[in-house]
Structure 1
């Protein structure tokens, strides 16, 4: 039925055209922005997740920048150390030359003084981003000084939304070469601890060089056993027998024939907790070289800890874990003593005056200020020999400082690579959630444009129907 008041065909065509236009707007937006979810109204869940990941990526970008600054600071300090190490080696050569009979030590001292001045200038100029880790002022009045410089190394968001930042610590106190603070500083009391001489995975018990799949693990499925006694004194003296064998590992190891170092450590700590020593007094762990280490929780000079290998239980075979390959009848295989809190000189490796002209009576000196021009005769030769030894020790300490900075550099660079990889993974996650398939959307856009043209034509035809009816009355 055709009606002059209600044009059903036109209304249908108009509704269709509106829907097509709405779809066309959505598709056009996706093509122009490249996103299928560009607002919360598009998909609230995906938009929320993508926004959170973008926020995390911004934080990771800041972490990456921090790591870059930290890497620059480490590089600067390392380059300074490396230059000073060469200077020290040159200084030692000059000193050895000064031992030669007939050499004018006054002239040699002029060269040495120039080296000493150059080393100080190198340390003073080893600045990066306003920080100097080689030439410092550790006085309490200098609030800007930090014994450990922390570099932000990571960012994590917990399931409850809490955010934490991990830190990479650079121990400036252990690498500084010069310190204007000449007073003593307090040192904390230390725990009693000792470390095995061999890495756990390098002992025969953990099968070094064994077939693939078994190397670095121990076989406790048979009669192998680790048995020793621990004696700890931390206000209370306690001795306990620790036995790790098949029975003790039943709950700690997944495969008794391939017990890992982590499972082995867990079994030892469980045995300590269950023993007369009890919990929270002694802890077993692995050091950075993989050696078995025992350490007390308590600190102080009265705290002691010792380990003595014991004989195996009846029918079992004792295996070594790095403390001794034999079973002594008496005596400790390893022991440690804590130290009390005290004081130490605040100055650095090169300016600490912890050496004396022992034979010539000239007082104390440091590597930064010793003078050989007055060292003559037999006693002078003896003191010159001591100076050479002191320079050798300084070379060793500066080398150790370089090693520590090298380790920090490796850690920071590794973290930079990880953060960069993580940011790229987050970008891919965001893309999966919100990016539009441009090929699909472009095809859809073309189809909708065609549908729009047809809908306009259909609406035009529907609107002309009433005109056809009116023509009947002409």
Structure 2
């Protein structure tokens, strides 16, 4: 039935044209933006996910900047530690020369003092953006990642511990007493540092001199070969009823035992010769001779504070200074190793965050980016459909005019 009031064919053609035009408009939008999901109206779930991940990518940029800054700061500290190690090695050669009899101690002392000053200059200049990790100040933390969980986002950091290589605030306490068997006789000294060689099959003793009061933060260390054991006096040590030197000696013994050096045993005695709170080092026969050095450090003093009291006035002083410098070299080596380890970790994390950021960007693209080959083909198809729908509407609108011929 043909009706003058209702043109069903035209209505169908019109709806088809509207649908084609809507699809064409959407496709043209994808071509112009490059995205198949550009707003929440198009796909709310995908749009929400993409926006969340885009915010994470922006956060990764801040993480990468933080890691770059931290890596540079640690690199400066590591370089300073390595330089100080080399300078201490130079001091060691002068001290070794001073153990002889016929040497110019004045010239050697001047050279050592010059090297001390250079160490101070290196430590003082080892800062990046105002942060110095080797001058006795505090450490820092480096933003390393933003971890997303169901409860939200949390910031993770890499802790960077400071290594004190300053020479400040040292006060002599004459804490160590040593007795070393030499040809059936005894040689005793009382100093803040000592160095001795214990032959295989023999022993040597040290004591923590109880006449000097140990306070919280004071520490004693023993270096054997390339390994160091130490004990630091705590607040509870000082406030307790026990003798502080006794606690420190026992703590030092436990630390040396934990080194696990083959052929070495350490015995503790609360009293005896040379002094109370004595540690005796026994080296098993058939083993190898062990060089043992000890160092006392005041609370709050710098890691290289013992440089201030180095003396090579006599061959005996030089031999004691040799043990001190060996301990200080181990301090800087440990500092350089610590900085190297954390610098490597920061570098690995920086590379990881960079790769992670790229992966997340690829994931976002897979969700929202338009397939341009497919979109281009769809555009051409829709343009043809638009032409056909327009033609169909034109034909449908011409149908009622044919009724005029019936009335002629």
> Does 2:177 correspond to 1:164?
no
CA contact (8 A) 1:136 1:179 kept: no
The 1:391/1:465 distance shift into structure 2, 3 A limit, reads: same
- C-alpha distance after superposition, 1:17-67 (max 9, x if no partner): 111111011112222222221111111111112222222222233222222
Q: What is the 5 A alignment of 1:110-149? A: 110-137=110-137, 146=138, 148-149=139-140
Whole-Å Cα distance in 2 between the matches of residues 469 and 389 of structure 1? 120
Give matches, 1:413-428, under 5 Å.
413-428=347-362
Deviation string 1:411-439 (CA, Å, 9 cap, x unpaired) is 22222233223223322322232222221
> Which deviates more from structure 2 when the two are superposed, residues 111-120 or residues 397-406?
111-120
Contact between 2:311 and 2:318, CA under 8 Å: does it hold in 1?
no
State the partner residue of 2:339.
405
Relative to 1, partners in 2 of residues 1:153 and 1:7: Cα closer, same or farther, differing over 3 Å?
Answer: same
Q: When the two structures are superposed, what TM-score results if normalisation uses the length of structure 2? A: 0.64
Structure 2: distance between partners of 1:170 and 1:415 = 14
- TM-score, normalised to structure 1, is 0.56
SS at match of 1:345: coil
5+ residue gaps, structure 1, are 138-145, 189-299, 305-322, 324-342, 353-365
Write the distance in 1 (CA, Å) between the matches of 2:110 and 2:298.
Answer: 32
Measure, in 1, the Cα distance between the counterparts of 2:160 and 2:215. 19
Deviation at 1:136? 3.5
Q: Which residue among 162, 176, 189 is the counterpart of 2:164?
A: 176
Query: Is the CA contact 1:77–1:133 (under 8 Å) kept in the aligned structure 2?
Result: yes
Q: Aligned pair in 2 of structure 1 residues 452, 102: CA closer, same or farther (>3 Å)?
A: same
Which residue of 329, 347, 355 corresponds with 2:301? 347
2:307 is paired with a residue whose SS is: coil
- Where does 1:245-284 land on structure 2 (aligned, <5 Å)? none
Structure 1 contact 67–153 (Cα < 8 Å) conserved: yes
Equivalent residue for 1:432?
A: 366
State how far apart, in whole Å, the 2-side matches of 1:125 and 1:434 are: 51
Are residues 115 and 448 of structure 1, via their aligned partners in 2, closer, same or farther at CA, if it must alter by over 3 Å?
same
Alignment match, 1:26: 26
| In the alignment, structure 1 residue 388 sits paired with structure 2 residue 388 | no
Are residues 1:442 and 2:382 paired?
no
Higher helix share: 2
Aligned residues: 293
Compute the displacement of 1:8 (Å): 2.8
Gapped regions of structure 2 (runs ≥ 5)? 172-213, 219-246, 252-259, 261-296
Match of 2:286 in 1: none
Matches within 5 A, 1:44-443: 44-137=44-137, 146=138, 148-159=139-150, 161-172=151-162, 175-178=163-166, 345-350=299-304, 352=305, 366-368=306-308, 370=310, 372=312, 375=313, 380-443=314-377
